Amino acid sequence: MRLRLAPLSLLLAVAMVGCSRPKSAAFTPPAVQTVVLGEATFTPGIQVVSELESRTSVTLKPETDGRVVKIEVNQGDLVRKGQVLFVLDNVQPTAAYDASKAEARKDLLNAERYIFLNDQGAVSTKERDFYITQAIQSRDQARASKATLGYSYIRAPFDGEIGDLSSVKVGDFVKTGQAITGIVSNSLLWTNMDVPATVANRVKTGQPVLLTTQETPPFRGQGKVVFISPYYRTLSASSSSSPNTVLVKAEFPNLTGKLKPGQKVTNLIITEEKRQLALPVQAVLMQASQPFVYKIYPLSEVAPKIRESTQVPEEMKSKILSLPGGTPIVVQTAVKVGKLQGDVYPLLDGLKQGDKVVVSNTALLRSGLPVRDEPANDLMGN
C-alpha cells in the first residue's frame, strides 16, 4: 500500500511547534486513541416504511334484534374468548327456551314409553315411530330456542381489546347486523410492505425484519417475513400501492403491547448476515467527497519517505528522524466504505485486518505527524 504524505503539510504541526519553542525544548507528540481493525457482523437489508395491521380484528354485530339491558365491559378492556360483553333483553327468548325444553322432555318420555309398548306388542310400529319423530322434532326445537337465547348474550369471539363504545348504551334498541363496537387482538401484528422490484429477489420467507416506530424515543421490535406475493403490483386507480413493487408481509409479536394497528413504522428486511472488516465512524474524515483515515505507521517504516522528501526542511527531517524507530506516525490514507450500520462502516478497500487507525483528535492531525498512541475501548461493533 502506498503511503500518502502530503507534500506541504508533512510535519507542518511539528514545524510550528518547533518554531514557537526554544531549541532546547523537547517536542511532545499529541495523544490520540487508536483501534486495530477487525471484523464485525453486518446485516445489509431493504428499508421500507409501512403501516401495522391487526391479524385478528372484527366489528361486533348482534345476531338478533333487542334492547341492550347490560354492558359488561368498558372500552379498552382486555377480554377473553367467550366472555359476555353485552346482554340484550331476553325475557321472551328465555320463556320460549324453557317451554321448548319442557316439551322436549315430555315428548322424549312418550317416545320411550311407546318404544317399550311396541317391544311388548301393545302398539304398532307406526305409532312408535310417530312419537319418536315427535321427540326428535321437540329436541331440535329446544336446541333452536337455546341458540336464539344465546344471541341475547354478545360474547368475545377471541382474546382481545374492546374498542369504542360510544355508539351504544344501556336502553338502546339494536338491530341484527348493527355495528356496536369492535374487538382487536394486538398480540400479533403484521404489515404489508411494497418492496421495489429491483431488490425483491433478495427477499426470502423467514428472513428477520427489524421494526422501528416513528415516536420519540422509538420502540424497536423484530418479526419475520411470512409471505411474498408471486406477482408484481401494477398501477391501479383503486390501489394506493406503488407500481412495479412486490407485496411482502411480515408479522411481529407484540408481547409488550406497545405496537398498535395503524401505526407507521420503518422496517428493515435483513437479507443477509456477514462478517466483514469494520471501520469505526470516529475514524473516518472526508476530503473532496473522498473518505480517508489516519493510519498509524512506525517511524522506521515511513522514515525512507521522509528522507527522500524535498518539501520538508532538513531541520524538520532531523527532528522527526531523531525520534525512536517505533514512534507512531499518522499517514492520511484513502478508504472505500459501505453504508453506515450503527457506529461502524463496512470497509470495502484501503486497509487490511490488523491495521491501526486513529479515532480521536483527528481534526488536529496532519499526515506525517508523530503521535502518542493510546488504544481506545472496543469501537468495532463486535
pLDDT of residue 315: 77
CA distance 87 to 68: 6
Please give, one letter per residue, the 3-state secondary structure of 44-102: CEEEEEEEEEEEEEEEECCCCCEEEEEECCCCCCEECCCCEEEEECCHHHHHHHHHHHH
Is 12-42+275-375 CATH 2.40.420.20?
yes
CA distance 362 to 350: 18
pLDDT of residue 193: 94
pLDDT of residue 282: 94
pLDDT of residue 311: 67
Quick check: 248 and 242 in contact, CB under 8 A? no
Q: Where are the domains of the chain?
A: 12-42+275-375, 45-55+185-273
Residuewise pLDDT in 10s, the chain (382 residues):
444 444 434 444 444 444 444 444 556 788 999 999 999 988 888 999 999 999 888 999 999 999 999 999 999 999 999 999 999 998 888 898 999 999 999 999 999 999 999 999 999 999 999 999 999 999 999 999 998 888 999 999 999 999 999 999 999 999 999 999 999 998 899 999 999 989 999 999 999 999 999 888 999 999 999 999 998 876 554 455 566 899 999 999 998 888 989 999 999 999 988 899 999 999 999 999 999 999 999 999 988 888 887 766 787 778 888 888 889 999 999 999 998 888 999 999 999 999 999 999 998 888 888 898 887 766 655 5
Q: State how far Cα 205 lies from the chain centre.
A: 15
Q: Let me know if the fold of 12-42+275-375 is the same as that of 45-55+185-273.
A: no
pLDDT of residue 27: 60
If you compute the radius of gyration of the chain from its CA atoms, what whole number of angstroms results? 40
Strand partners, 251: 190, 224
pLDDT of residue 55: 84
pLDDT of residue 368: 83
Q: Which CATH number describes the domain made up of 45-55+185-273?
A: 2.40.30.170
Cell numbers found for residue 106:
315430555
pLDDT of residue 239: 53
Cβ-based neighbour number of residue 121 at 10 Å: 7
pLDDT of residue 236: 54
pLDDT of residue 242: 66
Measured distance between the N- and C-terminal CA atoms of the chain, rounded to whole angstroms: 26
pTM above 0.85, yes or no: no
